[in-house]
């Protein structure tokens, strides 16, 4: 019997999730993949490692959904109860699956380990369920069907049980679950994401205006994280994919009209990736001189594969002595009555010193007060000066901006890095300097 997967739910299993000891990243990833496959996700449920609660959750989700994707609890230890819970929900016996047992054995042999009764339990499945091969670990997945009686009569709901460890879960989903999905025919879901930096989420909403009203099959929403405001575009409706894309093209054009100059990338692109792509296209290099970020800006840049094509390195000048010795900041700027280490003058001297000393085409310099100590009159915690210096003109082109971030250390460091990247991004994109979020006049 086949039915469409019009409504799906995700069931996460694990004490560590309900107790707040680990973050449920599996449901986020699964939701994204299911929605992109055209299967609409209507609920996320989490239960502890408890056989009865898990079996009850499966049956109650089956009343309202056509598919439940369950993660966790498939391993060999006593707290891994998913096989038993599915069997109870299906009202089925647990039987040993010979093929799965052979796979568990092969996987263990490859790791030079012997089969224990615990491992053997992983090859058990409800009699009417199938196992799903695990390409990365020993625990096979399960695929079963629940039959439940609701007020509307008998319903069927498919259940996929995947391992908890994210890599195993993702691989099993891609290799064996995706092909079993039956998104409703005649319904298309297409999504796009555009990323902006420099605007508050509420400003983005104002600029998008009526586009954000949820009334047609075209939906626009925003999410904010670390200063990046992402605009999510979604088509969900009866048109075939090509026609949906035409509608999304038009919607994207209008979104770009609204936030255009602040838009830096799309889909999985990050600000650092976009900056590095612009640098690579121009065959230009970048370096950093960092005080309050302690090297974090260079770390963010070098996390991107291929960054060595453009990133030459960084000077971490946390002390005044090293600002002078390594970055050539004039000692007169750093004395008691001078502008001080947290000043526009110092940031600009650091950027120019790095341009020269590191031999780069562009240098980003950051100096500020990350806190909790160090506030001065007129310079509260969260005050940061960021400078960008670029070769090409004589003297080199330097730009300094002052920011006032929220007075929380991690936040100051994080936003400093991204604001520095945004300044370089604006420069490389040939845009006039636009005021960034938290920038002071
Ligand atoms: P194992 O064979 O490793 O025991 P399992 O299928 O039994 O796998 P769990 O024991 O429930 O899975 O979880 C194993 C680990 O997987 C957890 O400690 C956690 O690190 C990770 N994990 C489990 N569920 C999630 C989740 N929803 N999101 C992110 N990570 C998870
Ligand atoms: Mg486990």
Distance, in Å, from the CA atom of 299 to the CA atom of 310, rounded to the nearest integer, reads: 13
Q: Does ligand 1 lie within 6 Å of residue 14's CB atom?
A: yes
Please state the atom number of ligand 1 nearest to the C-alpha of residue 169. Answer: 6
Preceding omega of 395 cis (within 30 degrees of 0)? yes
Q: Does ligand 1 lie within 6 Å of residue 72's CB atom?
A: yes
Cβ–Cβ under 8 Å, residues 325 and 315: no
Cβ–Cβ under 8 Å, residues 387 and 346: no
Q: Does ligand 1 lie within 6 Å of residue 126's CB atom?
A: no
Please name the residue whose Cα sits nearest to atom 21 of ligand 1.
Answer: 165
What was the pLDDT predicted at 231? 96
Q: How far is the CA of 97 from the centre of ligand 1 (A)?
A: 22
Q: Does ligand 1 lie within 6 Å of residue 80's CB atom?
A: yes
Three state DSSP letters for the chain: CCCCCCEEEEEEECHHHHCCCCCCHHHHHHHHHHHHCCCEEEEEEEECCCHHHHHHHHHHHHHHCCEEEEECCCCCCCCCCHHHHHHHHHCCCEEECHHHHHHHHHHHHHCCCCCCHHHHHCCEEECCCEEECCCCCCCCEEEEEEEEEECCEEEEEEEEEECCCHHHHHHHHHHHHHHHCCCCCCCEEEEEEEEEECCCHHHHHHHHHHHHCCCCCEEEEEEEECCEEEEEEEEEECCCHHHHHHHHHHHHHHHHHHHHHHEEEECCCCHHHHHHHHHHHHCCCEEEEECCCCCHHHHHHHCCCCHHHCEEEEEECCCHHHHHHCCCCCHHHHCCCCCCCCCHHHHHHHHHHHHHHCCCCEEEEEEECCCCCCCECCECCCEEEEEEEECCCCCCEEEEEEEECCCCHHHHHHHHHHHHHHHHHHHHCCCCCCCCCCECC
Q: Does ligand 1 lie within 6 Å of residue 71's CB atom?
A: yes
Cβ–Cβ under 8 Å, residues 438 and 404: yes
Cβ–Cβ under 8 Å, residues 42 and 7: yes
Q: Does ligand 1 lie within 6 Å of residue 289's CB atom?
A: no
* Beta strands at 94-96 and 40-47: parallel, antiparallel or unpaired: unpaired
Closest ligand (CA of 107): 1
What was the pLDDT predicted at 148? 95
How far, CA to CA in Å, does 174 sit from each of 34, 89, 191, 339, 363? 11, 26, 19, 57, 42
Instruction: Using most ligand atoms within 8 A of CB, pick from 132, 165, 173 the residue to mutate for ligand 1.
Output: 165
Q: What are phi and psi of 46, to 5 degrees?
A: -130, 135
How far, CA to CA in Å, does 85 sit from each of 26, 30, 100, 168, 428? 20, 21, 19, 20, 56
Distance, in Å, from the CA atom of 156 to the CA atom of 212, rounded to the nearest integer, reads: 36
Please name the residue whose Cα sits nearest to atom 4 of ligand 1.
Answer: 75
Say how many CA atoms lie within 13 Å of 330 toward its Cβ. Answer: 9
pLDDT per residue rounded down to tens, the chain (441 residues): 578 999 999 999 999 999 999 999 999 999 999 988 889 999 999 999 999 999 999 999 999 999 999 999 998 888 889 999 999 999 999 999 999 999 889 988 988 998 888 889 999 999 999 999 998 988 999 999 999 998 888 999 999 999 999 999 999 999 999 999 999 888 888 889 999 998 889 999 999 999 888 777 899 999 998 789 999 999 988 898 899 999 999 999 999 999 988 999 999 999 999 999 999 999 999 999 999 999 999 999 999 999 999 999 999 999 999 999 999 999 999 987 889 999 999 999 999 999 999 999 999 999 999 989 989 889 999 999 999 999 988 889 999 999 999 889 999 999 999 999 999 999 999 887 788 889 998
Q: How far is the CA of 436 from the centre of ligand 2 (A)?
A: 46
Taking alpha carbons only, the member of 54, 75, 204 closest to residue 140 is 75
Q: What are phi and psi of 191, to 5 degrees?
A: -125, 155
Q: Does ligand 1 lie within 6 Å of residue 198's CB atom?
A: no
Q: Does ligand 1 lie within 6 Å of residue 165's CB atom?
A: yes
Distance, in Å, from the CA atom of 63 to the CA atom of 89, rounded to the nearest integer, reads: 12
């Amino acid at each position: 019997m086949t039915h469409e997967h019009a409504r799906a739910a995700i069931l996460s299993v694990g004490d560590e999730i309900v107790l707040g000891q680990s973050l449920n990243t599996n449901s986020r990833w699964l939701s994204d993949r299911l929605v992109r496959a055209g299967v609409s996700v209507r609920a996320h449920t989490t239960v502890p490692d408890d056989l009865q609660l898990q079996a009850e959750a499966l049956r109650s989700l089956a009343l309202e959904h056509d598919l439940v994707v369950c993660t966790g609890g498939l391993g060999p230890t006593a707290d891994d109860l998913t096989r038993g819970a599915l069997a109870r929900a299906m009202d089925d016996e647990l039987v040993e699956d010979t093929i799965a047992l052979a796979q568990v054995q092969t996987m263990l042999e490859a790791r030079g380990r012997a089969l224990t009764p615990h491992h053997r339990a992983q090859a058990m499945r409800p009699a009417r369920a199938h196992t799903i091969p695990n390409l990365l670990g020993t625990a096979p997945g399960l695929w079963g069907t629940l039959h439940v009686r609701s007020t509307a009569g008998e319903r069927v709901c498919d259940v996929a049980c995947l391992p908890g460890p994210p890599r195993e879960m993702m691989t099993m989903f891609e290799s064996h679950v995706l092909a079993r999905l039956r998104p409703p025919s005649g319904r298309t879901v297409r999504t796009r994401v555009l990323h902006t930096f420099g605007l508050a989420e509420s400003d983005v909403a104002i600029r998008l205006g009526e586009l954000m009203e949820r009334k047609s099959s075209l939906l626009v929403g925003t999410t904010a994280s670390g200063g990046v405001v992402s605009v999510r575009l979604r088509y969900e409706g009866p048109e075939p994919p090509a026609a949906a894309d035409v509608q999304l093209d038009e919607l994207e054009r209008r979104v770009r009209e609204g936030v255009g100059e602040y838009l830096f990338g799309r889909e999985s692109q990050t600000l650092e990736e976009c900056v590095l792509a612009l640098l690579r296209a121009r065959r230009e290099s970048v370096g950093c001189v960092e005080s309050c970020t302690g090297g974090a800006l260079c770390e963010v840049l070098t996390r991107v594969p291929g960054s060595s094509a453009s990133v030459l390195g960084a000077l971490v000048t946390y002390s005044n002595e090293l600002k002078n010795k390594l970055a050539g900041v004039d000692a007169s700027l750093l004395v008691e009555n001078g502008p001080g280490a947290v000043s526009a003058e110092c940031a600009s001297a650091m950027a120019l010193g790095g341009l020269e000393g590191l031999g780069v085409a562009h240098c980003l310099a950051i100096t500020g007060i990350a806190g909790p100590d160090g506030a001065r009159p007129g310079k509260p915690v969260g005050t940061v000066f960021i400078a960008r210096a670029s070769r090409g003109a004589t003297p080199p082109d330097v730009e300094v901006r002052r920011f006032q971030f929220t007075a929380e250390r991690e936040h100051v460091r994080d936003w400093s890095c991204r604001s520095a990247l945004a300044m370089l991004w604006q420069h490389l994109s040939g845009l006039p300097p636009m005021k960034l979020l938290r920038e002071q006049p």
